[in-house]
Amino acid sequence: MQSKPRIASSLILVAASLACSTAVLAAFRDPEGPNLLVTVGLAALIYLLCLAFYLSRFLPTIAGPVRVLAAIVVQIVVAVGVYVVGR
């Protein structure tokens, strides 16, 4: 069973990935707006890439809330990268 901080950090990362995905797709200026399926798919991609960073031991000195913030920064960088490539 997972501990409460682990579940809370997972929920924070899911919410941040949904926000990043929505922001990227809203920036494309599609007259129909972002599709829900595409938004969730992009959020899942961003979350999985972020989760790989979060669970890895890339920077073992970073722990706790700072690690969650670093993972959110990774999400933002991935979202910006998706926007630049898709533009």
pLDDT at 13 over 90: yes
Instruction: Dig out the tokens for 18 from the structure.
Output: 């949904």
Give mean pLDDT, residues 52-73: 87
> What's the number of domains the chain is made of?
1
Q: CA-to-CA distance for 60 and 38, rounded, in angstroms?
A: 34
Domain range for 22: 4-86
Residue 14 pLDDT: 94
pLDDT at 2 over 70: no
> How far out from the chain centre does Cα 18 lie?
7
